[in-house]
Amino acid sequence: MSTRPEALFPLFAGLDSLTGIGPKTAQSFASLGVVAPRDLLFTLPQSGIDRQLIDTVKGAAFPATLTVAVTIGKHTPPRNKGGAYRIHVEDAQTSFQLVFFHARGNYWEQQLPEGSRRIVSGRVELFDAIPQMVHPDFTVPEAEADSIPSFEPVYPLTHGVTQKLMYRATRGALALVPEMGEWIDAGQRAKACWPDFAAALAAAHTPTSLRDITATAAPRERLAYDELLAHQITLALARQVERRKKGRAARATGALQSKVLQGLPYKPTGAQSRAIAEIIDDMQSEQRMNRLLQGDVGAGKTLVAFMALLAAVESGGQGVLMAPTEILARQHFQGLRPLAESAGVVLEILTGRDKGAERAAKLAALERGDIHILVGTHAVFQETVVFHDLRLAVVDEQHRFGVRQRLELGRKGRQADVLVMTATPIPRSLALAQYGDMDVSVLDEKPPGRKPIQTVLISTDRYDQVIERLRAAIADGRQCYWVCPLVEESEVSDLTAADARFKRLRAALGEGVVGLVHGQMPPAEKDAAMLAFQRGETKLLVATTVIEVGVDVPNASIMVIERAESFGLAQLHQLRGRVGRGTAASSCLLMYQNPLSDTGRQRLEVLRETENGFVIAETDLKMRGTGDLIGTAQSGVPRFKVADLEKQAALMAVAQSDARALLTQDPTLQSERGRAARLLLWLMRQDEAILLISVG
């Protein structure tokens, strides 16, 4: 079923198929992300106005929206053009005024004749101690009291779309919802007391009080769950397609691993040992591994990945470790070479720098199987690189590698297991949203010997003191980083800011002491600047955030982050993790610009108080919301219309296990519930998922 079911056609028609919406209005709706009637279903009221009938406006806390029955009294037309037209009215206990501007002729005398009874509803405010309702929202005869909703939903609007139009349009869309089966597990639905889909939509669009607008109201929670479930079914299908691909069971002997472990000056942490066991377990099964290794800065992911690579070699195969940049690939290579030598394993690196005969020789050795483990950039996978027998691909730094790329990796047809490493601690709800197709191992302990980093908040007014501190550290043989702020969106200004800071620091600390690296440099220059810093030729490296990922200079002990308040917490934590890698006591100076807002200060204080990346990421999520977390725009975290990842993290976990259970029982979604789930995927525009079913 890879074409949209007919029952859903009306919901995916043009908006102008709804009564009262022409092509021009449809264009206005588009700026709300509403392009089909289906989108109106998931555009829910964001608040509401209580219009319950009361006896009197007397004693109300003004200003307030009130609905009251009145007797119409004397009309006072304006004295001058454009003035206020006033009507004196009386409710059960007091009198007040209805006020209209731009009144025409005797219009209001006809509409609201003196002595008649009306129900009026609108905002009442005090002017000169007299309550006034200016331009009431409703003025209806008592017999038509029912035409005023007792609780009126308030929708998000845009230019050209009024509340009345939105109300009418959503009713039109609700009328198009077809009969659909139930895609939620019956037990789950009963436990949560959720209505069926159509009833949930109807209730969410006709709230009866503010309580009905909260995320925990059953109809809304059900609709949020529908969104999360559709997303998790998509990820579970991707996982199933991956898993159907026959893997090859590794026959890890442990011989090479124990050689390396014996030579280490420390014992792996419990978390490392646990992750190694989970990964090797996966590698030894007949199914292909698709696992995420998530660990905080400095939690020792590289050792875990290397053990997995050794298991591939023990099985008679090869492994590849791919990093996002050439600098990182070199760093992995330098770090792992002594370990590989101690186990008698041939480790080689292949990057864009390898040219001509040297490159050809490496490629030939790889194809013969003489190279056991290859380190390179992600390009290794795209090029004409042929392995003799590739068993394991390790991908470093996940956020440049979304679900699509993971499927690409699998389409290569190689039966290699895949292990993805990320140093970004992601709150569980986001991890499930982003990596729900993968199994996850978490490193949540720091290896012994990692020194705590002292984190200090300091205002930019104390620039000179910071320079003195750097001067002293450099005189002491230490190295330092200076991270420049992200300036606006424009790349040019980033560059100017970094450049200006570089010149000022060079003037203060001397020629040849300060290096500069930023995103706009040609790769070769960037590499040269990084290399000079790694070798200790430059003592202070001025950088934009390009150094965030994985650069390892054990001698660097001070990290200055300028305008720290403009960064995400998770990103500040990543940057801070660049120091504290050697034996010296390290510090991170978060420089902020006064005045700092209360939340700005609170956010930075979280960093001062903890080095636990998971705690920091959860706090970041709570304080800034999903949309602002660094990199979510490109990280493949989906945007939901109803579901709220911060507040409904627990629902995401339920959706994941529900989706996986459904596909275990019904891998091709043919059962009654399976067919309903297909409808849900179409309804939620999960077209990629539909293709995956057909792959199945």
Model confidence pLDDT, tens digit, residues 88-136: 999 999 999 999 998 888 899 999 999 999 999 999 999 988 999 999 9
Contact residues for 464 (Cβ-Cβ < 8 A; gap 6+): none
Provide mean pLDDT across the span 323-351.
89
Nearest-angstrom CA–CA distance, 570 and 555: 24
**CA-wise closest residue to 590 among 321, 344, 579, 581:** 579
Nearest-angstrom CA–CA distance, 560 and 452: 16
Q: Is 290 helix (H, G, I), strand (E, B) or coil?
A: strand
For the chain, percent of residues with pLDDT exceeding 90? 46
C-beta neighbour count of 215 within 10 angstroms: 14
Nearest-angstrom CA–CA distance, 534 and 682: 52
Q: Is 459 helix (H, G, I), strand (E, B) or coil?
A: strand
636 torsion bin: left (phi>0), alpha (psi -120 to 50), beta (else)? left
The residue assigned the tokens 């392995």 is: 387
Say if strands 95-101 and 138-141 run parallel, antiparallel, or are unpaired: unpaired
> Residue 595: is the preceding peptide bond cis (ω within 30°)?
yes
Domains of the chain plus CATH, in order, are 6-48+155-213 (no CATH), 52-148 (2.40.50.140), 255-443 (3.40.50.300), 453-610 (3.40.50.300)
Which helix (H) or strand (E) element contains residue 467?
helix 463-475
Tell me the CB-side half-sphere exposure of residue 466, using CA atoms within 13 A: 24
What's 226-266 look like in SS3?
A: HHHHHHHHHHHHHHHHHHHCECCCCCCCCHHHHHHHHHCCC
Provide mean pLDDT across the span 212-236.
93
pLDDT at residue 694 tops 70:
no
Nearest-angstrom CA–CA distance, 220 and 195: 10
Model confidence pLDDT, tens digit, residues 516-530: 888 777 877 888 888
CA–CA distances in Å: residue 200 to residues 8, 205, 219, 225, 654: 18, 9, 4, 11, 19
Pull the structure tokens for residue 231: 């997303």
Residue 451 or residue 145, greater confidence? 145
Provide mean pLDDT across the span 643-669.
88
DSSP string for 490-549: -HHHHHHHHHHHHHHHHHHH-TTTEEEE-TTS-HHHHHHHHHHHHTTSSSEEEE-GGGTT
Provide mean pLDDT across the span 48-63.
91
pLDDT for 637 equals 56
Nearest-angstrom CA–CA distance, 145 and 51: 11
> Residue 63: is the preceding peptide bond cis (ω within 30°)?
yes
The pLDDT-based confidence of 409 (bands split at 50, 70, 90) is low
Model confidence pLDDT, tens digit, residues 229-253: 999 998 888 877 766 667 788 888 8
pLDDT at residue 630 tops 50:
no
Say if strands 479-483 and 540-543 run parallel, antiparallel, or are unpaired: parallel
**CA-wise closest residue to 673 among 689, 691, 659:** 659
What dihedral angle (degrees, nearest 10) is formed by the CA atoms of 98, 101, 107, 112? -10
pTM of the model: 0.65
Pull the structure tokens for residue 622: 């709570």
Contact predicate 91/56, CB 8 Å: yes
The pLDDT-based confidence of 634 (bands split at 50, 70, 90) is very low
Beta strands in 369-414 (DSSP E): 373-377, 390-396
Beta bridge pairs of residue 98: 87, 133
Beta bridge pairs of residue 65: 123
Model confidence pLDDT, tens digit, residues 477-495: 999 999 987 654 444 455 5
Nearest-angstrom CA–CA distance, 353 and 156: 54
User: Is the dihedral angle over the CA atoms 384, 388, 390, 395 positive or is it negative?
Assistant: negative
Model confidence pLDDT, tens digit, residues 164-193: 899 999 999 999 999 999 999 999 999 999
DSSP string for 8-25: GGGGGS-GGGSTT--HHH
